[in-house]
Amino acid sequence: MKRRCNVYIIWIVGLLFIQQFISGCATTVTKDLHKEDLYRQDEQKEEMDLIGQKLFRNKCSICHELPEIDAYPYTPEQWSSIIDIMHDTKAAKKFITIEETEKIKGYLGRLTQTR
């Protein structure tokens, strides 16, 4: 009888150990997936910033000299308003699309948020 109880206890302890091992592996896999997702998001932000920067340099310089972004303490909302005002001119609509202005707004907004 006593031997049978010891066998059950050993089985229970073994099963608990296996359960802990499996749950630990699952946590590691979940953490790795989360890291990969964050890495992918960072890559997408960098790509969007490069596209926005290129549009800012190429499109905005058609009509005026490019400003030093750091020289102006504008918020993302203020940059958005300024770009909307500039895009509303008849001449600007020939050179830049609404989609491009949105990308430029995003680029300038992210730049000002990092300050």
Question: 3-state DSSP helix/strand/coil percent for the chain, to nearest 5?
Answer: 85, 0, 15
In the prediction, which pLDDT does 28 show? 59
pTM of the model: 0.62
pLDDT at 63 (0 to 100): 86
DSSP string for 27-69: HHHHHHHHHHHHHHHHHHHHHHHHHHHHHIIIIIHHHSPPP-G
Whether residue 107 contacts residue 59, with contact meaning beta carbons closer than 8 Å, is answered with no
pLDDT at 24: 64
pLDDT tens, N- to C-terminus, the chain (115 residues)? 566 677 777 778 777 777 776 766 555 556 666 777 777 777 887 888 899 999 999 999 888 899 888 888 899 999 999 999 988 887 778 888 999 999 999 999 988 876 5
Quick one: pLDDT at residue 84?
A: 92
> How far, in Å, CA of 56 to CA of 50, rounded?
10
Give the type of residue at 104: I
